[in-house]
């Protein structure tokens, strides 16, 4: 069995599935601040909706911190978006 065949048999994790490129139109990523402002939310409002600290949202928007996967998911859910639709600083 080749390495490619072995890799094909491995189960895909939720993170791998969420990070996989979607078929169809290429996804355009928008910065977190732009997504927040598009929804007319303040930093504090987004933080409360996501259940994270206001300074966490500020630091992520400013590019000072790369958010943990859980934080990305919470912020994206609060914005009614998928994590892959947001351009996260420090995440390639």
Range of the domain at 44: 28-92
Asked whether residue 15 is domain-assigned, the answer is no
Give the residue-averaged pLDDT of 50-75: 95
Give the C-alpha separation, 90 to 46, whole Å: 20
Confirm whether 11 is domain-assigned.
no
Query: 89 pLDDT band (50/70/90 cuts)?
Result: confident
Per the structure, the count of domains in the chain is 1
Question: What is the rounded CA–CA span in Å between residue 40 and residue 34?
Answer: 10
CATH number of the domain bearing residue 59: 1.10.260.40
Model pLDDT for residues 10-34, shown as the tens digit of each residue: 666 666 656 665 666 556 889 999 9
Please give the pLDDT value at position 78. 96
| Residue 56, pLDDT above cutoff 70 | yes
In a domain, 87, yes or no: yes
Whether 42 is covered by a domain: the verdict is yes
Query: Tens digit of pLDDT for each residue in 70-85?
Result: 999 999 999 999 999 9
Does residue 10 belong to any structural domain of this protein?
no
Beta 30-31 vs 86-87: how paired, if at all?
Answer: parallel
């Amino acid at each position: 069995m080749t390495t490619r065949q072995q890799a094909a048999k491995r189960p895909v994790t939720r993170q791998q599935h969420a990070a996989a490129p979607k078929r169809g139109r290429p996804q355009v990523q928008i910065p977190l601040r732009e997504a927040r402002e598009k929804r007319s939310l303040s930093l504090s409002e987004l933080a409360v909706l996501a259940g994270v600290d206001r300074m966490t949202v500020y630091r992520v928007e400013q590019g000072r911190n790369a958010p943990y996967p859980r934080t990305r998911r919470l912020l994206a859910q609060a914005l009614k978006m998928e994590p892959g639709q947001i351009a996260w600083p420090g995440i390639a």
